[in-house]
């Protein structure tokens, strides 16, 4: 649950006649917004039980759209954000603040879609206490807000992957060394090669889906086998992205090939090797499950 900037389309001459016209946005970045006090208070302000910072921008964004308002980017506006050099307050808990806040927001506002965030940080979820959300849910009832499904279908109309009907989800852990997980760098990284690293609780970069289209996917990127370079890389997902299968013998291979993902002997690295189901270096633990929207 992060705010990402994406390119906007050119003015269509109808809703937006010039580049200076406002642009509807499903969320705001958090540090830069303008809202009247009256309207802010009508929406219930920020949730007072969100700690320090993190996800408060998404909570306000969901409320604005789902409860009868809207969010717009004003292209020709100018605003400054002053960042303090040090914190002037103490952290209220020793847990992961951002994830705890987002779990709280998801519980109140995201309805059945919350399962996707909960599963993504499942290693942390049971350790974090989000507090009592009764008052925030009552606020949503009083404001007669729309469902999150409405928000996804009417407001967040940009292409976003919803991981339903998957074959496998989560970390891909080596059965040779359970401390190692397959990892892809964050989208901002120039390194597109897939590799292994120490498993960690914040599973974002180590969290993958095996989709119903047989693609190994993380967000907008999919794995593919570059046979010329003998590496596993990633690219923006498309209908032509390579297909994979996760077999009953716990091997992972590109469909139609005799190559399997293998932990390199004596190295914390992965290679593509001739498939051998008895080779533990080629065996991976990946949760076979599917998340269903009810």
User: How many residues appear in the chain?
Assistant: 294
Choose among 105, 98, 99: nearest CA to 125: 99
Domain ranges of the chain: 23-155, 168-287
Say whether pLDDT at 101 is over 60.
yes
In whole numbers, what is the pLDDT of the chain averaged over residues? 85
At residue 4 the predicted structure's pLDDT band, cuts being 50, 70 and 90, is: low
Distance between CA 159 and CA 17 in Å, rounded? 23
Q: What pTM did the predictor assign?
A: 0.80
For 120-139, write each residue's pLDDT tens digit.
877 666 678 889 999 999 99
Distance between CA 205 and CA 211 in Å, rounded? 17
Say whether pLDDT at 82 is over 70.
yes
Contacts of 90 by beta carbon, 8 Å cutoff, 6+ apart? none
| Across 216-228, average pLDDT | 86
Say whether pLDDT at 59 is over 90.
yes
pLDDT higher for 98 or 15? Answer: 98
Answer whether CATH 3.30.479.10 is correct for domain 23-155.
no
**For the purposes of burial, counting CB atoms within 10 Å of the CB of 162, is it exposed (0-12), middle (13-18) or buried (19 or more)?**
exposed
CATH class of 168-287: mainly beta
For 13-53, write each residue's pLDDT tens digit.
667 778 888 888 888 887 778 899 999 999 999 999 998 88
Neighbours of 278 (CB within 10 A): 7
Distance between CA 249 and CA 114 in Å, rounded? 32
Say whether pLDDT at 270 is over 60.
yes
Residue 244: which H helix or E strand, with range?
Answer: strand 244-246
Contacts of 282 by beta carbon, 8 Å cutoff, 6+ apart? 251, 260, 261, 262, 263, 273, 275, 276
Say whether pLDDT at 94 is over 80.
no
Distance between CA 197 and CA 195 in Å, rounded? 7
pLDDT higher for 146 or 159? Answer: 146
Residue 137: which H helix or E strand, with range?
Answer: helix 134-142
Is there a contact between 263 and 175 (Cβ–Cβ < 8 Å)? Answer: no
| Across 100-110, average pLDDT | 93
Q: At what angle do helices 56-66 and 97-109 cross, to 10 degrees?
A: 10
pLDDT higher for 97 or 273? Answer: 273
Q: Are strands 252-254 and 244-246 parallel, antiparallel or unpaired?
A: antiparallel
- Distances in whole angstroms, Cα of residue 294 to Cα of each of 33, 59, 107, 113: 34, 22, 15, 9
Distance between CA 73 and CA 57 in Å, rounded? 14
């Amino acid at each position: 649950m992060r705010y990402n900037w994406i390119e906007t389309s050119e003015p269509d001459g109808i809703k937006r006649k010039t580049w200076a016209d406002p642009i509807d946005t499903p969320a705001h970045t958090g540090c830069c917004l303008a809202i009247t006090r009256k309207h802010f208070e009508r929406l219930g302000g920020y949730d007072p039980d969100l700690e320090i910072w993190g996800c408060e921008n998404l909570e306000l964004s969901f409320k604005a759209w789902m409860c009868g308002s809207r969010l717009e980017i004003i292209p020709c506006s100018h605003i400054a954000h002053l960042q303090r050099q040090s914190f002037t307050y103490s952290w209220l808990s020793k847990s992961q603040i951002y994830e705890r806040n987002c779990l709280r927001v998801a519980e109140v506002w995201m309805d059945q879609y919350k399962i996707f965030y909960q599963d993504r940080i499942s290693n942390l979820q049971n350790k974090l206490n989000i507090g009592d959300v009764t008052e925030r849910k009552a606020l949503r009832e009083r404001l007669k807000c729309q469902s999150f499904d409405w928000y996804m279908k009417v407001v967040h109309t940009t292409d976003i992957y919803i991981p339903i009907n998957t074959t496998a989800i989560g970390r891909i852990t080596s059965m040779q060394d359970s401390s190692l997980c397959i990892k892809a760098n964050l989208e901002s990284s120039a390194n597109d090669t897939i590799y292994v690293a120490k498993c960690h609780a914040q599973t974002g970069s180590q969290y993958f889906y095996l989709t119903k289209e047989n693609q190994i996917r993380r967000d907008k990127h999919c794995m593919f086998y570059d046979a010329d370079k003998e590496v596993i890389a990633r690219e923006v997902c498309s209908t032509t992205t390579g297909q994979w299968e996760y077999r009953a013998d716990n091997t992972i291979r590109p469909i139609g090939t005799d190559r399997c993902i293998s932990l390199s002997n004596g190295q914390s690295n992965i290679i593509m090797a001739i498939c051998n189901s008895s080779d533990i270096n080629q065996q991976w633990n990946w949760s076979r499950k599917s998340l269903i929207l009810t």
